[in-house]
């Protein structure tokens, strides 16, 4: 009998030890790579939550892809709200640093997106608190890029970077051309 109880204790100790190592490692990996988020509200309709309040989309947010602040126009991103750091919001990237944007109801009709910032908007204009409300958003607030809709099952799909009609920048400054000078 003592032989069986010794084995049980070793098994339990190994399980508990493994659990206390595996959980923090898993949480750290998921925090660095990706996580899922429920999208609430109408600001991204019809791209996300096309059925309104009756069913919310759940998206996979890729944190790894934005680790060096590499996003492109049309990406749907999660950022920490400039108004409430406890809240994350999901919007579409309309302009990158250096782009000239025609705004929608912002205090200025045209804006040059400053270095280190993005211009973000919800797809459902008039139902979104976005850059047209609070201006360009710091890249430091970037949290992840929505890569897939994973719920509900009927909406499983990869999310592609698309700019809405008439929302392309008036002029852009593409740093990949090797021209890092502001002009």
**Is residue 150 included in any domain, yes or no?**
yes
Chain segment 7-64, per-residue pLDDT in tens: 777 777 776 666 666 666 666 666 667 788 899 999 999 999 998 767 889 999 998 7
Give the pLDDT mean for 131-146: 95
Give the pLDDT mean for 68-82: 92
Does the active-site annotation cover 91?
yes
Give the pLDDT mean for 75-99: 95
Does the active-site annotation cover 108?
no
Tell me how many domains the chain contains.
Answer: 1
3-state secondary structure the chain: CHHHHHHHHHHHHHHHHHHHHHHHHHHHHHHHHEEEEECCCCCCCCCCCCCHHHCCCEEEEECHHHCCCCCCCCCEEEEECCCCCCCEEEEEEEECCCCEEECCCCCCCEEECCCCEEEEECCCCCCCCCHHHHCCEEHHHEEEEEEEEEECHHHCEECCCCCCCCCCCCECCCHHHCCCCCC
**Is residue 148 included in any domain, yes or no?**
yes
pLDDT of residue 64: 79
**Is residue 82 included in any domain, yes or no?**
yes
Q: Which domain holds residue 65?
A: 35-175
pLDDT of residue 8: 72
**Is residue 171 included in any domain, yes or no?**
yes
Exposed e or buried b per residue across 75-110, where buried means at least 16 C-beta atoms within 10 angstroms of its C-beta: bbbbbbebeeeeeebbbbbbbbbbbebebbebeeee
**Is residue 10 included in any domain, yes or no?**
no
**Is residue 15 included in any domain, yes or no?**
no
**Is residue 28 included in any domain, yes or no?**
no
Q: Which of 91, 128, 131, 147 is catalytic?
A: 91
- Which CATH number does the domain housing residue 47 bear? 2.10.109.10
Predicted TM-score (pTM) of the model is: 0.78
Among candidate residues 85, 102, 86, the one with its CA nearest the CA of residue 137 = 85
pLDDT of residue 12: 72
User: pLDDT tier at 140 (50, 70, 90 boundaries)?
Assistant: very high
**Is residue 2 included in any domain, yes or no?**
no
């Amino acid at each position: 009998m003592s032989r069986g109880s010794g084995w049980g204790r070793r098994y339990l100790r190994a399980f508990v030890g493994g659990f206390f190592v595996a959980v923090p490692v898993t949480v750290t990996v998921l925090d660095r790579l990706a996580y899922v988020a429920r999208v609430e509200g109408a600001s991204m309709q019809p791209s996300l939550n096309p059925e309104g309040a009756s069913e919310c989309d759940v998206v996979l947010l890729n944190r790894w892809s934005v680790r060096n602040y590499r996003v492109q126009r049309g990406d749907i991103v999660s950022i920490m709200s400039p108004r409430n750091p406890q809240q994350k919001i999901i919007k579409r990237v309309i302009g990158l640093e250096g782009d000239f944007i025609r705004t929608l109801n912002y205090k200025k009709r045209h804006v040059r997106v400053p270095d280190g910032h993005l211009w973000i908007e919800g797809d459902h204009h008039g139902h979104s608190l976005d850059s047209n409300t609070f201006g360009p958003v710091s890249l430091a607030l970037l949290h992840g890029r929505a890569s897939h809709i994973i719920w509900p099952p009927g909406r499983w799909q990869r999310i592609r970077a698309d700019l809405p009609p008439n929302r392309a920048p008036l002029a852009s400054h593409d740093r990949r051309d090797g021209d890092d000078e502001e002009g």
